[in-house]
Chain A
Amino acid sequence: MPDCTAVEMHEATQVLHLSLSEIGALSLRAIRGAGRTWGEAEEGAAAACWLARAGLDWANALIGILSRPASAPGCPLRAGMAIADSSGLSDGASHRGQRFSELCHPGFLLPFCAYAAARSGQTLRLNWKGATAVIAPGEAPTMTGDMDAVGPLAVRLEPHASTGTARSCWPRVHLGTVEPGQYAALNALMLRITVPTSADSLAGAGARGSDND
């Protein structure tokens, strides 16, 4: 059974507001810093931005996902990429549906399902215990229940006949929130792929000498 890591919640004394581009850049580097491939980093960063726009806890999901090895079962990033990649195929998950016996942070599938819905033109329904999301092509999702569930949970993805009452557009929000502890955790992962600048590089970049001309 997957061990879905629930991130220790710090007291929300001061929630930080990050722009979507900051969330994207931080997530990209943190995912890579956690040892995932650059391809996963790109996909995971785009997903984090999507979740932030939807008002979901992108940071908690990401930290939980990155605390486990990529090869461990139940990774929603890997599962999401496979759903999105297969969405243009007749035997893809968006046409045939898919069941996951145990998936951590199932809400992380939402952005990938949104792409799959858009690519296949098929409304999708994603549900797990106590939560349902309906995702119509090109529309904001309709979500009920706990989208930030940690899991592991049994998850079902299936084509959905009706577009339901999906909102016609996204809220005009271009920032996301993160708690200080989450921000520190993601920064720590990001710093794993940074390199001390060498003296030669600094010199070539103009750090030597005065600019008083």
Chain B
Amino acid sequence: MTCAGLNPMPQARTFRRDPDDVMRLARMGCNHPTRLSFLRQLLRRMQSEGWGFDRPVWDIDAQGVGRAVYRAIGPVRTYSLVAFAHDLPDDQRSDRVIATAWDATFALFDGTPDADDLDRLAANVPLQEAGRVTPNELSLSRANRSVRLFDHVVESLARGQQPNADMLLETGYLMRTTAVYGSGKFGAADRAAIVERPEMRAPFQAEMLSVWLTRSFTVDLVEHLARARGGANAVRLAPELKRGLGVGNSTGLGMAPFLIRHPVLLNNWMVAREEALARVRAQEAVGEAEFAGFLAALRAAQENALLWASAHPIQRAKLSDLRDGLARTMAHVTERWDRYATHPWDNLWRWGQTSLPLEGQEALLAAMLEPHGDLIDGLGDCMDADEEAHFPIDGAMRVGDLRATLRTHYAWALDVDYTAHEHSARFWYISEDKLEPRLGERFDEPGAECELPLDTGRQAAALWRALEGKPGDMPVAHLLLAHPEHRPALRRAQITGRHPFAEIRDNLIAADMLPIDLLRCKLAFFGATRFDPRSDRWVRISLFQGAPYPEMMTGRVQDA
């Protein structure tokens, strides 16, 4: 949807950033979660609407094998996480999508499942991609134990002791999901089937709910196993340790093309966040509560940056930038920032633009949004997209207007020499084994003839060249009759003309393109923390670390 008609702050317009600045991979690869992130939206809604939660089924044996059901009961509808716990030999445990067995498998059921539903799911969910679910299911997922920590926690609790807090902090989760499929995958309900529900309208709410309930399952499972092992000596996990645990997630290239394939959705995510920043920058004064909230957010970001570890050289450098940037920001804010001047937030933002590395700038953005819930939370309603409505090509557009659109939004792409190896070194393809997106080396590996149309810059440049010599008043419908091969680029150009944040303004087949930048951007919108790349194309992250558990959600509690 467009939120233009709902915008109560037209004065924020002059504070918006330019898409040429925002939509670059280097900056997108520095994105941080904000209060508009999807898991934050889910938790806020459940808190404000007073959702109830229970666990009607817990049928897990002493070896940790069996099934459980967790329900989230909203004002109109109920959703149930159906969990299957398995006995997985250590040598079969792999985080990657190539795996065929897992420690636990899950489906998010639409409603409350009966015995027949559970039996049907038991026959399919453990198989994951090799099984089938139905439109009664909203997501399909699996998770593996973080074995070293999982075993340590079970052993400690069984002995009546709390686990080592440093170990918990270091890993941050008991299980990692390795795929969370939604939106019609493997027979599940299509997004269109649930998008009219207010609680499902923001992106990825079903998937976020599934992961959040999975977090409860992981803690229940270690406590169950500790009781089975330690009997009366066993203790439960201390609340402060429990709250610090999230759910890990391991993800890779399969997720990367999403942002390119859903340009209107990407635009709406970006526009909501950019509008939020602009609204804060447009404030003429800093309230005391906002100042205190901002300082608290900065401190929390500093603590998070200290606990955030990675062995990957790229991420280590970025972490160094982040810690340095946050320290400089804190010093500036407490020692030099004149928060009584006009437009103090804008002054601070402008200081950051000239004084901080990209990591620090984007962290400052997240901290500035944090104390402004009343001002910006409504923008969460603008982050979905009716993609079908924006799909058709407008054949009546004139070539002259298309040229102008390309000049305005694709200048970054038009003058690149795509015959040079470094500018077309990669190609995206679908893997034969898992039917997942992968990235190949064009000049070293076979398969470039099967390339996916993710070479957005190269396609835009080819379209630009095809317009040479064409009359400006020629309808593009006539161009397409002669050159159907330019259809995808023309469609993207029209979408970007209407949605300036729809296109990533970088060459996605360049030798130096980092897929993890795409992942970081998307995962930040999810609300992920502890972004930890294991190569340039797969990462581990944490979700819901520090967030409340279902039993803490009764009534209005502190915002997550």
Number of interface residues of A (CB under 8 A): 48
B residues less than 8 Å from A38 (CB atoms): 453, 485, 487-488
Are A194 and B537 interface neighbours, CB within 8 A? no
B residues less than 8 Å from A87 (CB atoms): 395
**A204 to B312 CA separation, bound complex (whole angstroms):** 13
Number of interface residues of B (CB under 8 A): 66
At the interface, yes or no: B66 with Cβ under 8 Å from chain A? no
Are B535 and A191 interface neighbours, CB within 8 A? no
Task: Using A20-B184, A37-B485, A211-B93 as known contacts, say yes or no to A191 and B432 having CB atoms under 8 A apart.
Answer: yes
Are A193 and B430 interface neighbours, CB within 8 A? yes
A residues less than 8 Å from B396 (CB atoms): 88-89
B429 shortest CB reach to chain A, Å: 4
Are A206 and B484 interface neighbours, CB within 8 A? no
At the interface, yes or no: B480 with Cβ under 8 Å from chain A? yes
Choose from A81, A119, A205 the contact partner of B538 (Cβ within 8 Å). Answer: A205
**A139 to B431 CA separation, bound complex (whole angstroms):** 39
A residues less than 8 Å from B96 (CB atoms): 205-207, 211
Which B-chain residue is minimally distant from A120 (CB atoms)? B396
Choose from B250, B252, B395 the contact partner of A89 (Cβ within 8 Å). Answer: B395
**A46 to B491 CA separation, bound complex (whole angstroms):** 14
Are B392 and A84 interface neighbours, CB within 8 A? yes
At the interface, yes or no: B534 with Cβ under 8 Å from chain A? yes
Task: Using A205-B253, A206-B252 as known contacts, say yes or no to A37 and B432 having CB atoms under 8 A apart.
Answer: no
A134 shortest CB reach to chain B, Å: 20
Are A195 and B189 interface neighbours, CB within 8 A? no
Are A22 and B184 interface neighbours, CB within 8 A? yes
A residues less than 8 Å from B446 (CB atoms): 195
At the interface, yes or no: A18 with Cβ under 8 Å from chain B? yes
Choose from B148, B432, B438 the contact partner of A213 (Cβ within 8 Å). Answer: B148
A residues less than 8 Å from B433 (CB atoms): 196-197
Are A42 and B185 interface neighbours, CB within 8 A? no
**A71 to B257 CA separation, bound complex (whole angstroms):** 31
At the interface, yes or no: B90 with Cβ under 8 Å from chain A? yes
At the interface, yes or no: B286 with Cβ under 8 Å from chain A? no
Are B93 and A212 interface neighbours, CB within 8 A? yes
A residues less than 8 Å from B450 (CB atoms): 192-195
Are B453 and A195 interface neighbours, CB within 8 A? no
Are A20 and B185 interface neighbours, CB within 8 A? no
**A60 to B538 CA separation, bound complex (whole angstroms):** 39
At the interface, yes or no: A198 with Cβ under 8 Å from chain B? yes
Are A174 and B491 interface neighbours, CB within 8 A? no
Choose from A17, A198, A206, A210 the contact partner of B187 (Cβ within 8 Å). Answer: A17
**A19 to B486 CA separation, bound complex (whole angstroms):** 29
Most buried by B among A89, A194, A205: A205
Most buried by B among A22, A37, A197: A197
Are A213 and B147 interface neighbours, CB within 8 A? yes
Most buried by A among B188, B430, B481: B430
Closest 6 CB pairs of A and B: A39-B487, A88-B396, A21-B184, A19-B184, A85-B395, A195-B447
Pairs across A and B, CB under 8 Å, 13 listed: A19-B135, A42-B487, A43-B487, A84-B392, A85-B480, A174-B135, A194-B431, A197-B431, A200-B445, A201-B438, A202-B98, A204-B536, A213-B171
Q: Which residues of A contact B (CB under 8 A)?
A: 17-22, 29, 37-40, 42-43, 46, 81-82, 84-89, 92, 115, 119, 172, 174-175, 191-198, 200-207, 210-213
Beyond the given A84-B392, A195-B440, A211-B93, could you list 11 further A-B residue pairs with CB under 8 A, ordered by the A residue number? A39-B491, A46-B388, A82-B477, A86-B475, A88-B477, A119-B392, A119-B394, A194-B435, A201-B438, A205-B252, A206-B538
